[in-house]
Amino acid sequence: MREEHLKEVERWAEFVRTHKREEWQPQVKALVDSQIIIANRFYKRLARTKGGKEKIRKLVESRL
């Protein structure tokens, strides 16, 4: 892990330890929600490509 990244992870962990859930949870929710939106957009675009639906099916099967 890069040193800068590790420092950010440690900073966030300290923030979570020292602040109430109500303070940091909205930030986490916004991040997770945005990642889900981006993933959904990717899969929709992939499904419209040649062989895209087959690729998605293989991905789903490999994760089960």
pLDDT at position 64 is 76
What is the pTM for the complete model shown? 0.67
pLDDT at position 63 is 85
The rounded distance, in Å, linking the Cα atoms of 34 and 37 is 5
Q: Are the C-beta atoms of residues 62 and 49 closer than 8 Å to each other?
A: no
For the stretch 38-47, contacts whose Cβ atoms lie closer than 8 Å and that sit 24 or more positions apart, written own/partner, are none
64 residues of the chain, pLDDT tens digit each:
689 999 999 999 999 999 999 999 999 999 999 999 999 999 999 999 999 999 999 999 998 7
